[in-house]
Amino acid sequence: MSFSNEIRDELCRIQKRRPCCELAEAYGILAFANRFSADSIRISSEHEGFVRRAKEILFNALGVSFDVISGDRWKLELHDRAAISTVFSRFGYDTERHVTMHFHGWFVEEECCMAAFLRGAFLCAGVCADPAKSYHLELSSARGAFLRELLVRASELSFTLRISRRQNGYLLYAKESEHIEDFLTFIGAPSAAMRLMEQKVLKDYRNRINRQSNCEFSNIRKTIDAAEAQTVAILQLAERGLLHELPTALKETADVRIAFPDLSLAELCEKFDPPVSKSCLNHRLRKLTAMARELDQPAE
Ligand SMILES: [Zn+2]
């Protein structure tokens, strides 16, 4: 099941509703309906629970009975003009003169009602990406003016939502996990918000582990690269028969490096008797590689 529908499941379990909130949820559902016009109102969803809840809420709040149609997608429809006119006027709209649909904020003045309104809107038109993959929540609508006015009201409640235009309309969306969590908690889906939070902790943890092992890996790589360069240099000196001409300390260093090509500098120090310091060994190895490098240069 999609994460969006898991959220719908959770929202549909909310039963205790005040009349003010029921009206607000009905408003949220209708404002984001697929069709809301003088000749028909249609809500279409793959989520049966939502469609059944919407029918009940619309009836309780407006006294109007929508037809439920089952199929690939579930639909709620209203075609009776008188009933549609009742619905319109209940929310301050007029079927005759209605052109641009504006957001009527007086239905959602209380916070409980705003939560119910957004719940209805999400149930009807919300999408939330699976938090294991990405953070994205959106409400889409063809009504730009309505969304912009709703955005103003939402930001008064310190929600961080953004608006953008897309091909067939507009989007209200959030991309930060905290903003999505706040939104879900507010509309009555705290379990979904909790899942988001858990995923975020898990993701942060994985990233930290990855960074750590990348760092460890690159240290190992550096050690191997350095040891390899030193070994190659010593072999070049040996090829030219120069090893036995070296001062004792350098000769000994060359022998130990060749004997233990995989060891790090610190480990190599222990192979000397008595052990030498890291800086001393480093100095000697540098000297050996510098001598080998000089071999490559043309004599002057
Ligand atoms: Zn209320």
CATH number at residue 38: 3.10.28.10
Residue whose token pair is 């959030």: 174
In a domain, residue 213? The reply is: no
**Cα-to-centroid distance, 9 and ligand 1 (Å):** 21
Please give the chain's pLDDT, 300 residues, in tens: 899 999 999 999 998 788 999 999 999 999 999 999 989 999 999 999 999 999 999 999 999 999 999 988 999 999 999 999 999 999 989 877 767 889 998 899 899 999 999 999 999 999 999 999 999 999 999 899 999 999 999 888 878 899 999 888 899 999 999 999 999 999 999 999 999 999 988 888 888 888 888 888 888 888 888 888 899 899 888 888 888 888 999 999 999 998 988 888 889 999 998 889 999 999 999 999 999 888 877 655
Give the residue from 168, 188, 208 where a domain finishes: 188
Dig out the tokens for 140 from the structure. Answer: 């889409």
**Cα-to-centroid distance, 229 and ligand 1 (Å):** 74
Give the residue from 133, 167, 188 where a domain finishes: 188
Give the residues across from 162 on adjacent strands. Answer: 173
In a domain, residue 198? The reply is: no
**Cα-to-centroid distance, 57 and ligand 1 (Å):** 14
**Cα-to-centroid distance, 233 and ligand 1 (Å):** 80
Q: What pLDDT score does 299 carry?
A: 56
Exposure string of 225-255, with b = 16+ CB inside 10 Å and e = fewer, is eebeebbebbebbeeeeebeebeeebebbbe
In a domain, residue 204? The reply is: no
Dig out the tokens for 117 from the structure. Answer: 């309104």
Give the residue from 188, 208, 238 where a domain finishes: 188
In a domain, residue 207? The reply is: no
- Neighbouring residues of the ion ligand 1, judged by CB less than 5 Å: 18, 20-21, 110, 112-113
Residue 243 sits in the same domain as residue 166: no
Residue 182 sits in the same domain as residue 243: no
Contacts of 287 by beta carbon, 8 Å cutoff, 6+ apart: 250
Q: Which helix (H) or strand (E) holds 141?
A: strand 137-141
Residue 107 sits in the same domain as residue 250: no
| Domain housing 68 | 3-188
Contacts of 58 by beta carbon, 8 Å cutoff, 6+ apart: 26, 29, 30, 64, 66, 76
**Cα-to-centroid distance, 20 and ligand 1 (Å):** 4
In a domain, residue 278? The reply is: yes
**Cα-to-centroid distance, 191 and ligand 1 (Å):** 22
**Cα-to-centroid distance, 157 and ligand 1 (Å):** 15
Residue 164 sits in the same domain as residue 21: yes
Give the residues across from 171 on adjacent strands. Answer: 140, 164
In a domain, residue 199? The reply is: no
**Cα-to-centroid distance, 65 and ligand 1 (Å):** 22
Q: Reduced to 3 states, what is the DSSP secondary structure of residue 137?
A: strand
What's the length of the chain? 300
Residue 258 sits in the same domain as residue 112: no
Compute the distance between CA of residue 73 and CA of residue 45 in angstroms, rounded to an integer: 6
Burial class (CB in 10 A: 0-12, 13-18, 19+), 296: exposed
How many structural domains comprise the chain? Answer: 2
Burial class (CB in 10 A: 0-12, 13-18, 19+), 191: middle
In a domain, residue 107? The reply is: yes
Residue 175 sits in the same domain as residue 242: no
The backbone region for 188, taken as left when phi is positive above 0, alpha when psi lies in -120 to 50, beta otherwise, is left
Q: What pLDDT score does 298 carry?
A: 64
**Cα-to-centroid distance, 276 and ligand 1 (Å):** 79
**Cα-to-centroid distance, 131 and ligand 1 (Å):** 30
Residue 92 sits in the same domain as residue 169: yes
For the chain, the first-to-last Cα distance in angstroms comes to 77
In a domain, residue 277? The reply is: yes
Kind of pairing, strands 162-166 and 35-36? Answer: unpaired
Residue 152 sits in the same domain as residue 226: no
